[in-house]
Amino acid sequence: MDSTARLSSLRLPVGTLLIGAAAGALYWMAPLQALLVYDRAAIGGGELWRLFTGNIVHHSGAHLFCNLTAFLIAGALVEMQDRRQLVQLCLFAGALIGAVLYAARPELIVFGGLSGIVTALAVYLCLAGLDKVGACRWLCLMVLVLLAVKLATEILSGASILLSTGPRDFTPVPESHLVGAAAAALLFLRERLRHETSRVRMISA
């Protein structure tokens, strides 16, 4: 009975799988890629959806493989805890990445990739993990430090650490990772403030 109860309590990461499947299928659909990729000229012409949908467009097999593998792992971990958080993180981080890149990188003509959203998911997981005790807490702290070092190195070098080898048929955009991390921190702080407010109200009542 205990094993059955545990299995039934597990959340199948349907949302993560659907987003991953969409990104994978899109890679093989060039006309649809052209319609969804972040394209500065098209965005300036009013195609604002590209600010968000550019996150699921990938420019090479290696680009897709790295991003999709990391997204499936991080997304599943978030979704199995709270599907609502997965949706919020993907929507907020995806939209914020596109908006910030459009405002801050006028020279960036084309952009695509899930890595910024992956960073958001990883940062959120680790921030939430700081509330745990024992080894899990220290592991989350260590991962946050490593992510901070990775982000700083990428911003200073202008290159992605994970995609620094192999053929280059696209230009990495480390700023998307920084924006993803910021989006995760903002959502985490909002949730923390919401919980604290609810706790104070319950005590006051």
User: Three-state DSSP class for 39?
Assistant: strand
pLDDT averaged over every residue in the chain: 88
198 has a pLDDT exceeding 50: yes
Burial 96-120 (b: 16+ CB within 10 A, else e): bbbebbbeeeeeeebbbbbbbbbbb
Quick: pLDDT tens for 127-186.
999 988 889 999 999 999 999 999 999 888 876 666 554 445 566 789 999 999 999 999
For residues 98 and 8, what is the distance between their CA atoms, to the nearest angstrom? 38
pLDDT at res. 4: 45
| 194-200: average pLDDT | 77
pTM flag (> 0.75): yes
**Token pair belonging to 105:** 């990188």
Each residue's pLDDT tens digit, 29-76: 999 999 999 999 999 999 999 999 999 999 889 889 999 999 999 999
**CATH architecture of residue range(s) 11-204:** Up-down Bundle (1.20)
pLDDT at 110 over 90: yes
Separation of alpha carbons 126 and 144, rounded Å = 6
> Among 161, 93, 78, 84, which Cα is nearest to 127's?
78
Other beta carbons less than 10 A from residue 39's beta carbon: 19
Place of tokens 């070098």: 157
The mean per-residue pLDDT over the stretch 112-121 comes to: 96
Q: How far apart are CA 3 and CA 16, in angstroms?
A: 25
